[in-house]
Chain A
Amino acid sequence: MVLECKHVWEHISGYLDGTLDAAVLEDVQKHLEHCEICSAILDSTRNILILTADERVFELPLGFSERLHARLEAEMQGFSYKPRGSVEESDG
C-alpha cells in the first residue's frame, strides 16, 4: 500500500518506539526511502527526543540537595515507622 505523507506522520511515534505492526512498518519504510520530507521529520523528531531527554535541560538550583537533605533530616528527628505486624490502635 502506498502511504501519503500525512499518513506517515501518524506513525512517527510508533516508528520511534518500535511498536508498529510489521505491515505498517514496511509501508512506512518504503515511503521513507523516497520521501526526504518525511525522513527529515523523522530525523528531527528523533533528535529532539534525544535532546529533551538529556539531564542538562533542567538544571538543579544551587544548594538544592543541601536544602532537601536538611528538611529530611528535620523530618527524621523523632520519626519512627510502626513496628512490623502491629495493628492500628483500636482503644484510646
Chain B
Amino acid sequence: MDREAMTATSENRNEAQMIASILAGNTHEFHDLIQPYERSVYSMALSMLQNEADAEDAAQEAFLKAFRSLEKFRGEAKFSTWLISITLNEARSRLRRKKTAKTESLDELNEGGHVSPALLRDWREIPSEALERQEVRLMLQDAIGDLPLIYREVFVLRDMEDLSVNQSAEALGISVAAAKVRLHRARLMLQKRLAPQLKQVMPKRRWFPWF
C-alpha cells in the first residue's frame, strides 16, 4: 500500500462523522467512505485467493458486509482496520470452502520449519521504479502467492496493509508471539526466493532501463 497516501487520506477526513451520517440515513455517503480503501481490500483479497475474479467478488462482498453491518462498527478500531478484518474473514471462508487437503498439510508442515535466507555478498538497491515492469510485478505476486497461507496472512496484514503486529495478531486470532514468528519466516521466505530472482532481472550496467 501507499502508506503516506493512506494516512493523509484518513487524516483529512472525519470518518466517524461520515459513519454517523450514513447510519442516520445518508447511505450514499458510504461510496465516499470506502473510496480510499478499494485498492487495499482488493489486493488483500487477491493475495489470499490468487484469482482476479474471485478476488473481485470477495472484495465486493466485503464492502457489502461492511455496509450492512456498519452499525456494529464501534469506532474503537480504525474503520480501515475493521474493513480489513472483514475482508480477511471473507477470503478465509472462501479458501476454506475450496481448500484441498494438499494445501492444508503443506501449511501444517511448514509451521515448525526453519527458514534460511538466500546468501549474498552484496545487494544493490532496487528502486521502486522497477515495479513499472510487468515481469517484476509478477515475480512479487507469485512469491507472495506461494507463501503458505499462515505466513501469507500475517505478511499481507503487517507488511502490505500496514497493520501493527498486535492488530495483525488480533485480526488473525493468534498470539502476538506467533504472529512475530510467522512474520519473520514469511519475510525470510520472500528474501530467499526473491533476492536471487531480482538480482538476475536487474542488469548490472544499465541500471535504469525503465526510464
Chain A residues packing against B (C-beta within 8 Å): 6, 9-10, 12-14, 16-17, 36-37, 39-41, 43-45, 47-61, 64-65, 67-69, 71-73, 75-76, 79-82, 84
Contacts and interface: CB of A to CB of B under 8 A. Distances in A.
Contact of A36 (B28, B52, B121, B141): B121
Interface residues of B, number: 59
Nearest to A69: B31
A43 B120 CA distance: 10
| Chain B interface SS verdict (over half) | helix
Contact of B43 (A37, A50, A58): A58
Contacts of A76: 27-28, 30, 67
B144 interface: yes
A40 B121 contact: yes
Interface stretch (B80-88, B97-105, B188-196): B188-196
A6 B27 contact: no
B11 to A, nearest CB: 18
Contacts of B165: 17
B174 interface: no
A20 B130 CA distance: 31
A55 B2 CA distance: 6
A49 B159 CA distance: 7
Contacts, number: 149
Contacts of A40: 120-123
B78 interface: no
A54 B188 CA distance: 18
Contacts of A16: 187
Given A43-B125, A51-B126, A51-B128, A6 B159 contact: no
Contacts of B140: 51-52, 57
B12 interface: no
A61 B56 contact: yes
B162 interface: yes
Contacts of B39: 55, 58, 60
Contacts of A61: 52, 56
